[in-house]
Amino acid sequence: MEQQSSPLPTAEQYVDDLYAQDEQLEFVLQSIRDNGMPQISVKRGYGRLLTLLVKMTRAGRVLEIGALGGYSGICLARGLAKGGTLMSLELREEYAKLAHENLTKAGFGNTVTYMTGEALPNLEKLYAHNERFDFFFIDADKGNYPNYLEWAIKLGTPGAIIIGDNTLLHNKVMDPAEQGNNVRRMREFNRMMAEDPRLESVMLTAYDGLTIARIV
C-alpha cells in the first residue's frame, strides 16, 4: 500500500514553528480561554511584528483600540523604550481587568493605562485633552474601523504608524456577495488606507490580513 504523505503546513504554520513558544503569551491565551472570552487575539506572527515596529519607530506613546486579554498589549509594550506608555481602550470592564492583570504579570503594569466603555467617546476625550500618540493598533469592532482611522489621524504625531488587524475578514472583503455592515466598513477602511493622501501604507495578506500605514 502506498503511504500517503502528510499535508504540507501553511506558510503561517511553517513560520510560527520556527519560533520557540512564548510562555508569557501562551499564558495570556489560556487565561482568555479560562474566562470564556473570544479567542481572537492578534496572531503570533503579527504580535512579533507589533513589537518590532514599536521598537523600530521608537514610538513613545502607543494607543491600542481593543484590549481583550492583553496579548497585543504585551506585544506593544515589549517594544517601548524606557519611559514609553501604552493607552488601551476596551469596551468591557472585565476584559480590561484581565488585560491589566496579564500585563502586570508580564512586568508592564505601570506602563499601561485603560479607558473602558465605547471607544469613540473616549477618543474624543483624548483629542479634547490634546493627547497625541506615535503608534496606533486597531483591533476592535470592525464596523467602526473607518471612524477609528479618522481619529488615529487626528490624534497622531507626524509620521505616526497606524495598524489595523483582520483586514481580510476571513476573505469576506474579496467576495462581492458579502454585503454585511462589517464587511462593507472594512472595505471602506482598506480603501482609505490605500488611497487617502494623508497616509502611505502597505497591506499584508498572511493570517487574516494586517494593514500598516504611516501618517505623512
Residues 18-29 pLDDT 10s: 999 999 999 999
Q: Is there a domain that residue 4 lies in?
A: no
Reported confidence tier of residue 5, pLDDT bands at 50, 70, 90: confident
Residue 104 has pLDDT above 60, yes or no: yes
Q: Is there a domain that residue 36 lies in?
A: no
Q: Is there a domain that residue 31 lies in?
A: no
Cα separation, 123 vs 115, whole angstroms: 10
- Domain span holding position 157: 42-215
Q: Is there a domain that residue 28 lies in?
A: no
Look at 2-16, 78-92, 169-183, 189-203 and tell me which has the smallest mean pLDDT: 2-16
Task: State the pLDDT at residue 150.
Answer: 98
Task: State the pLDDT at residue 51.
Answer: 98
Q: Edge-to-edge strands of the sheet including 61-65?
A: 112-116, 85-90, 61-65, 133-138, 156-165, 210-215, 199-204
pLDDT per residue over 155-178, tens digit each? 999 999 999 999 999 999 999 999
Q: Is there a domain that residue 113 lies in?
A: yes
Reported confidence tier of residue 7, pLDDT bands at 50, 70, 90: confident
Cα separation, 173 vs 183, whole angstroms: 6
Residue 74 has pLDDT above 80, yes or no: yes
Mean pLDDT of 43-49: 97
If phi > 0 it is left, if psi is from -120 to 50 it is alpha, else beta; for residue 88 that is beta
Reported confidence tier of residue 1, pLDDT bands at 50, 70, 90: low
Residues 132-147, buried b or exposed e (16+ Cβ, 10 A)? ebbbbbbbbbbbbbbe
Identify the CATH number of the domain in which residue 205 sits. 3.40.50.150
Q: Is there a domain that residue 154 lies in?
A: yes
Q: Is there a domain that residue 27 lies in?
A: no
Mean pLDDT of 23-50: 96
Task: State the pLDDT at residue 189.
Answer: 98
Tally of structural domains, the chain: 1
Cα separation, 28 vs 105, whole angstroms: 10
Q: Is there a domain that residue 193 lies in?
A: yes
Mean pLDDT computed over every residue of the chain: 96
Reported confidence tier of residue 2, pLDDT bands at 50, 70, 90: low
Residue 3 has pLDDT above 70, yes or no: no
